[in-house]
Structure 1
Amino acid sequence: MRAGDGCPARYDESLGYWVVDDPALAREVMLDPETFRPENAVLAHTPLSVKALRVLSSVGFALPPTLANNAGPSHRPIRAAVARFFSPARVAAIEPLTRELFTERVNAAQRRLADGPLDLVAQVAAEPPALVVLELLRLRDVDVPALKEWSLDSLELFWGWPDEDRQLELAHTAAEFYAWLRQRVTAARATPEDDLFGVLVQLGLRDEEICAVAYFLLIAGQETTTQLISTAFQRSLGTVIDDTAAVVEDVLREASSVPTWRRVTAEPTTIGGVDLPADAPVLLGLSGHGGPADLAFGIGIHRCLGATLARLEARVALETAAPLLARARPLEPEPPMIDLLSFRAPKRLLVADFDS
């Protein structure tokens, strides 16, 4: 998203949204979910083709209001049920596993770097956040590489600009992901356990609601953290890190992996003196506009449940990778990017040893 031009709210014809970059106004919008509704939060930015919709409908794909797209009465109990998995005590207790996972990958990368270039995203940043969130959600027997592929493809499908051919490819992987979720729900109904699916079954949710919760939770709970870590790595290459927590906060303020988020007006309203009609799609700037680091996680009833976890994982990743980052030099001054409406980070970080 482009930086603002000084207007409190401006209509961007190329994006099709009223853009609100001012951090104070973005905060105001998020604290008023009755006027600025979340129904468009997870809609496909690029309208899906008939062929893509057919693929999705073949597995009963549906995203009813649950978490990010829900401001109704069902939101509170669903959020409360999921929030228990991310309690402060559980997040604090997961730090040793987080450190172990990153240390293993950093040590392997240190050895490989002596032999030639490597990709820090694939080798270090990619898998630990997925393994951590699966542990917190008590989910076993998950194909992590498949989850990573499903996640990236779904982000592109819902927040990217894919043409019809690409949409069809992405729809097939989204359908594969959704079919897997349905299988997990069926298994949880037969034998409820204390994992995410069992808790949601016991909450009395419909299959489609459980799948909708799990679909984006399993994406947002790990892929956005991988992207946050990837950006922190990029900004730290060839440097000695004095304060890892400060680096994380700088990234959240200036280049968060989730730089924007969406809302839609429920009625004609005014923001910053600018009149918006009813049903106006609004794009909020959460990062890179001089606001606080915490704004990157949202505020109000839809604040990111994993904010504390993401900060912990990014800090631990930087602490364990600091010696590696200090000796690594980038091989691509401008690495290829994940560059979507609401997600941005390096797709890869090819590095070599400074001594090579």
Structure 2
Amino acid sequence: MTTCPARYDEELGLWVITEPAVVREVLLDPDTFRPDNAVLAHTPLGVPALRILSAVGFALPPTLANNAGPSHRPIRQAVARFFSPARVAAVEPLTRRLLTERLTAVGARLAEGGTADLVEAVAAEPPALVLLDMLGLTEVDVPALKRWSRDSLELFWGRPSPERQVELAHSAAAFYWWLRQRVIEARKDPGEDLFGVLTGLELADEEICAVAYFLLIAGQETTGQLISAAFHRYLGTTVADPAEAVEEVLREVSSVPTWRRVTAAPTSAGATQLPEGAGVLLGLTGHGGPADLAFGVGIHRCLGAGLARLEARVALEAAAGLLPLIRLTETPELIDLLSFRAPARLEVEVAPIRLAGDRT
């Protein structure tokens, strides 16, 4: 039996491709399947939200995920230096300390008969702190960064109402204004941190802000979501091999299950003909493909793939003694955006001990 490699989804307004081999072909052909729509708002922004963003000069010119032009390579090379294998390996002790501290506190709370949310109490902040350390960024309000990041993901990949768009736009504008101030400071006194390196590329302020905007979101929020997904997957079980467990999560329930492309000319996906300007939604995970496909392939492969794998593995290792002993207190609330899915909360408690032969 043959299957159609692409189908048009009326509700999404996108051609959906989930066959791993075809997804890989699309990602390896950025000239035909361009990344121009990768960070566009899935729900078109209304005039009130656009005015709020415009007031701070908000702009997302092509830089990394949405760039297939000549400027992509030098920007990517500059950012990639922060995520070299040596630098990733060097942050493992920090990652383990941050996660262990939080899991110890959760364990103590649960031992006293309380409950805890594994997302906020454990998974949320360590990836942000690790990323900031790797990028050389100090004096960052981490709770504000987390709030800005989550609001921006909802603004660009969610389906917010016009009223909610206004709320989210205020948050995104505050984030962008903060980025602009960091760029101004870096131009006066460039250092070796992310902003200092980017100013050395002779980029416009808007380009530097665009790089930092999504790097500071994707570089930590998606990893926190990956850790949350891993905790959810293995709650109540013993994880024999944390590294392989992470690969299973990436194959089946990764926090970034889809990504977008747009056709530059009439083309085909397998045997399906696509018109010029067709928006395409690629299924990266949960369709029988390899774990590595969760990070994409080709010139836009996720720069933080090695870091995400390390942080998720360390999280499972650190939680190994706790996960078999706990259970959910309620059905978890989920983040369910176009390209981002993970538990928003994982409220847990100690599971009652069941004796042999106890069927209650």
The reply to whether TM is greater than 0.5 is yes
C-alpha deviation, 1:355, in angstroms: 3.5
C-alpha deviation, 1:331, in angstroms: 0.9
Q: Over residues 110-152 of structure 1, what are the superposed CA-to-partner deviations in whole Å (9 max), with x where a residue is unaligned?
A: 1111231110001000000000000000000001111111011
> Which of 134, 137, 162 is residue 135 of structure 2 equivalent to?
137
Letter in 1 for 2:68: A
Which residue matches 1:73?
70
Superposition pairs of residues 82-97 of structure 1, within 5 angstroms:
82-97=79-94
Letter in 2 for 1:220: A
Which residue matches 2:175?
177
Aligned-pair Cα RMSD in Å? 0.9
Which residue matches 1:273?
271
CA distance in 2, matches of 1:284, 1:355: 42
> Which of 236, 239, 246 is residue 237 of structure 2 equivalent to?
239
Superposition pairs of residues 170-249 of structure 1, within 5 angstroms:
170-249=168-247
> Which of 45, 50, 72 is residue 48 of structure 1 equivalent to?
45
CA distance in 2, matches of 1:122, 1:113: 15
Letter in 2 for 1:324: L
CA distance in 1, matches of 2:180, 2:326: 43
Secondary structure of 1:323's partner? coil
C-alpha deviation, 1:7, in angstroms: 1.8
Number of residue equivalences: 351
CA distance in 2, matches of 1:272, 1:231: 32
| Mean CA deviation greater in 322-331 or 338-347 | 322-331
User: Is 2:310 aligned against 1:312?
Assistant: yes
Letter in 2 for 1:237: L
User: Is 2:345 aligned against 1:348?
Assistant: yes
C-alpha deviation, 1:341, in angstroms: 0.2
Letter in 2 for 1:118: A
CA distance in 2, matches of 1:268, 1:8: 16
Q: Over residues 188-231 of structure 1, what are the superposed CA-to-partner deviations in whole Å (9 max), with x where a residue is unaligned?
A: 00110100000000111110000000000000000000000001
Report if the CA contact (8 A) 2:118-2:346 is conserved. yes
CA distance in 2, matches of 1:257, 1:7: 26
Letter in 1 for 2:334: M
CA distance in 2, matches of 1:147, 1:236: 28
Letter in 2 for 1:352: E
Which residue matches 1:255?
253
CA distance in 2, matches of 1:241, 1:277: 46
CA distance in 2, matches of 1:289, 1:6: 13
C-alpha deviation, 1:6, in angstroms: 3.6
Which residue matches 1:159?
157
CA distance in 2, matches of 1:105, 1:139: 22
Report if the CA contact (8 A) 2:4-2:271 is conserved. no
CA distance in 1, matches of 2:111, 2:322: 11
Gapped regions of structure 1 (runs ≥ 5): none
CA distance in 2, matches of 1:330, 1:271: 42
CA distance in 1, matches of 2:326, 2:71: 48
C-alpha deviation, 1:280, in angstroms: 0.3
CA distance in 1, matches of 2:172, 2:72: 24
Letter in 1 for 2:193: D
> Which of 12, 15, 21 is residue 12 of structure 2 equivalent to?
15
User: Is 2:30 aligned against 1:38?
Assistant: no
C-alpha deviation, 1:325, in angstroms: 1.2
Letter in 2 for 1:289: H
CA distance in 1, matches of 2:95, 2:243: 16
Q: Among all aligned residue pairs of Structure 1 and Structure 2, give the percentage whose two residues are the same amino acid.
A: 72
Which residue matches 2:144?
146
Q: Normalization by structure 1: what TM-score?
A: 0.98
Q: Over residues 283-310 of structure 1, what are the superposed CA-to-partner deviations in whole Å (9 max), with x where a residue is unaligned?
A: 0000000000000000000000000000
Q: Normalization by structure 2: what TM-score?
A: 0.96
Secondary structure of 1:322's partner? coil
Report if the CA contact (8 A) 2:265-2:276 is conserved. yes
C-alpha deviation, 1:234, in angstroms: 0.5
Gapped regions of structure 2 (runs ≥ 5): 354-360
Secondary structure of 2:170's partner? helix
> Which of 327, 335, 340 is residue 338 of structure 1 equivalent to?
335
> Which of 157, 166, 179 is residue 168 of structure 1 equivalent to?
166
CA distance in 1, matches of 2:239, 2:258: 28
CA distance in 1, matches of 2:326, 2:235: 6
CA distance in 2, matches of 1:68, 1:162: 23
CA distance in 2, matches of 1:327, 1:184: 45
C-alpha deviation, 1:246, in angstroms: 1.1
Letter in 1 for 2:12: L
